[in-house]
Structures are given as C-alpha cells and as structure tokens.
Amino acid sequence: MNNNSIRVAIAGAGGRMGRQLINAVLQIEGVILGAAFEHTGSSLLGVDAGELAGLGKLNIRVTDQLEQEKDQFDVLIDFTRPEGTLNYLAFCVENHKNMIIGTTGFSDSQKEMIAQAAKNIGIVFAANYSIGVNLVLKLLEKAAKIMGDYSDIEIIEAHHRHKVDAPSGTALAMGESIADTLNIKLADHAVYCREGHTGERPKGAIGFATIRAGDIVGEHTAIFADIGERVEISHKASSRMTFANGAVRAAIWLSAQPTGLYDMRDVLGLNTL
Ligand SMILES: NC(=O)C1=CN([C@@H]2O[C@H](COP(=O)(O)OP(=O)(O)OC[C@H]3O[C@@H](n4cnc5c(N)ncnc54)[C@H](OP(=O)(O)O)[C@@H]3O)[C@@H](O)[C@H]2O)C=CC1
Ligand SMILES: O=C(O)C1=N[C@H](C(=O)O)C[C@H](O)C1
C-alpha cells in the first residue's frame, strides 16, 4: 500500500460478488478497501468486512451510512440490484465519486439514468467483467459479419439457481454486439421465449434460452447455425474471482480517465481493435 492507492468502497459487500470483491481489493496492488456497504436492514451491518470475506479482521465495518464514509473512498464498486445501484449512483454523482457498475437487470430508462450520470462522473458499466467474455463480444462481431446475414442465431446462457434476472446481462450484451454489427435493433429481432405451436423459426430472429440450475457460475454460448454446419462461440466462468479481478482492474483504469461512460472493452483496449 502507498499514498497513491485508490480507495475502493464495495456496495453489496455481503453478496456473492461483494465478498469476492473484498478479496480482490486486498490482493491487487494499487487499491485499498475504504468502505463496505450493505442496505439498511441488512443483518450484516456492523460485521467486519474482512471477516465477511473470510480474511480476518480489517477494522472496516459494513455500514449503510454513506454520508459518514464519503471521505474514505474514491470509487464505488456496485454489484447489487438495479434499485440499489441507482441509490448509490445518486450518492456518487452528488459526491463526485467514480463508479464501477456490475449489476444487471436494468430497464432501458434505468440505463439512461446511468448514461446521464456519466456526464458528471466516470462510470464503467459492464454486464461482465471477465476478460474472456469481453473477448467473446469482439469475436461475435467477426462471426456476425461473416455468417450473421444468413445463419440462425441463438444465445444460450446458464447460471446458478439464485440468479434473479433473465436473460443474463451478458447474453443481452452478446445479442447487442451481434445486432450492432448487423445494423439492426436487438429489440426488433429478439425472441425471448417459445412455447406451444410456435410456427417455423422467423428469418432474422435472435433467440435466447435460459438455464437456471445449482451453482453454475456463468456460461454463455452463441450459435450461428446454417444447413450442414454451425459455429458455436462459448465462454464458461468457473470462479467469480474472474469478475471481481476485472472490476478492480476497471476501477484502477477509470481513475486515469476523464468523466464519461465506459465498458469493460474500453478498459481492456478492445474497442479500438
Ligand atoms: N458484471 C459482472 O461481471 C457480474 C455481474 N453480476 C451481477 O451482480 C449482481 C449481484 O450478484 P450477486 O453478488 O450474485 O448477488 P447477491 O444477491 O449475492 O448480492 C447482492 C448484494 O446486494 C444486496 N442488495 C440487494 N438489494 C439491494 C438494494 N436494493 N440496495 C442495496 N443492496 C442490495 C444484497 O443484500 P441481501 O442479500 O440482504 O439482499 C447482497 O448483499 C447481479 O445483478 C448479477 O447479475 C454478478 C456477477 C458478475
Ligand atoms: O448473476 C450472476 O451470477 C452473473 N451475472 C452476470 C450476467 O447477468 O451476465 C454476469 C455473470 O454471468 C454472472
């Protein structure tokens, strides 16, 4: 640790990702843990953040008192729920704190609120902070350019039983990456469910299928299928540390950027390839 370390606050500190993020902040050079937040009413308020993550005492207690902690951090990493994210967002705008948003499941109007906030603070907003998924988003552009006009495109995702939003943010980002490349609107082509007598597959549809089971960390496959052959591009996460490490890397990167809205492809330099 040195005086130039970036001080990170973690929102949703007691969640599956929150605990991994505490670990990642302690392991990665150039960052220190400044604060750990949970929502009002959480049974974890007052618990030591280090103990929460199984790392021993850090003397940083989980709190819902953002105002009291505002001088303790430079950037807030949020993996919570959309309504929680928007509360933290309002606080960050008011107090000029950068934000890394990992939460998924936002409506279009909520996404617009994030875009508006990024006129005042730096925000990295990504449905997936793993390097591999962001590489896949780029590979999908290539596949869509070559096969997108004539093949049947399907996106399949699988996650653990506790996940509350579907399709996953990553599956939607994959759909967006393909739709942008094909110069179409995902909303006009997406098929999110099929049941009963569906009729034949409409040409140009982008289909989504969702699996929720056990402890699957996160798996995504895009299929480009024609008669006689198909291409599948897949990513499988086996540890949440891949997301946590990516989010902390994004926090470090963001500290050197001007105000604005970025995604993980910006952090990794993939948007200029
Ligand atoms: N971008 C990426 O790379 C990744 C994104 N995610 C996304 O991150 C989010 C969190 O995932 P995960 O950690 O598995 O979920 P968890 O449910 O394990 O954790 C969410 C945390 O946020 C808290 N929380 C719930 N509601 C609110 C609220 N309104 N305000 C503030 N805090 C709240 C929860 O508290 P309590 O338990 O008391 O409800 C919990 O501590 C999801 O949207 C998920 O899709 C997940 C992994 C990777
Ligand atoms: O909820 C999760 O667990 C995950 N959510 C993200 C998503 O919705 O894409 C990313 C990752 O797949 C894990």
Is pLDDT of 154 > 90? yes
**Residue 73 resides in a domain:** yes
* Residue 66: domain span: 6-125+240-267
Q: How many domains does the chain have?
A: 2
- Residue holding tokens 């996160």? 218
The predicted structure's pLDDT at residue 2: 61
- Ligand 1 center to 197 CA (angstroms): 37
Q: Are residues 45 and 74 in the same domain?
A: yes
Q: Are residues 117 and 251 in the same domain?
A: yes
Q: Are residues 228 and 163 in the same domain?
A: yes
How does pLDDT run across 31-55, given as a tens digit for each residue? 999 999 999 999 999 999 999 999 9
Entry pTM: 0.98
Is pLDDT of 86 > 90? yes
**Residue 113 resides in a domain:** yes
**152-159 sheet: strands from edge to edge:** 190-191, 206-212, 152-159, 218-226, 229-237
End-to-end CA separation in angstroms for the chain: 34
Q: How confident is the model at residue 272 (pLDDT cuts 50, 70, 90)?
A: confident
Read off the pLDDT of each residue in 134-161 and give the average, rounded to a whole number: 98
User: What is the C-alpha to C-alpha distance for residues 130 and 240, in angstroms, rounded to an integer?
Assistant: 9
Take atom 17 of ligand 1 and give the residue whose Cα is closest. 15
Backbone φ and ψ of 197, nearest 5°: -80, 95
Ligand number nearest CA of 157 is 2
Q: Are residues 76 and 153 in the same domain?
A: no
Q: Are residues 231 and 254 in the same domain?
A: no
Is pLDDT of 1 > 60? no
**Residue 273 resides in a domain:** no
Q: Are residues 248 and 180 in the same domain?
A: no
The predicted structure's pLDDT at residue 271: 87
Residue 83 CA, closest ligand 1 atom number: 29
- DSSP letter for 70, please: G
Q: Are residues 12 and 106 in the same domain?
A: yes
**Residue 1 resides in a domain:** no
Q: Which residues pair with 233 in a beta bridge?
A: 222
CATH number at residue 167: 3.30.360.10
Q: Residue 52: which of 24, 27, 20 has the closest Cα?
A: 20
How does pLDDT run across 242-255, given as a tens digit for each residue? 999 999 999 999 99
Q: Are residues 62 and 100 in the same domain?
A: yes
Q: Are residues 183 and 142 in the same domain?
A: yes
How does pLDDT run across 7-26, given as a tens digit for each residue? 999 999 999 999 999 999 99
Q: Are residues 225 and 142 in the same domain?
A: yes
The predicted structure's pLDDT at residue 35: 98
Q: Are residues 135 and 228 in the same domain?
A: yes
Q: Are residues 81 and 177 in the same domain?
A: no
Cis peptide before 202 (omega within 30 of 0): no
Percent of the chain whose pLDDT exceeds 90: 97
Mean pLDDT of the chain: 97
**Residue 227 resides in a domain:** yes
The predicted structure's pLDDT at residue 44: 98
Q: Quick check: 158 and 170 in contact, CB under 8 A?
A: no
Assess whether the C-beta atom of 14 lies below 6 angstroms from ligand 1. Answer: yes
- Ligand 2 center to 2 CA (angstroms): 33
CATH number at residue 68: 3.40.50.720
Q: How confident is the model at residue 4 (pLDDT cuts 50, 70, 90)?
A: confident
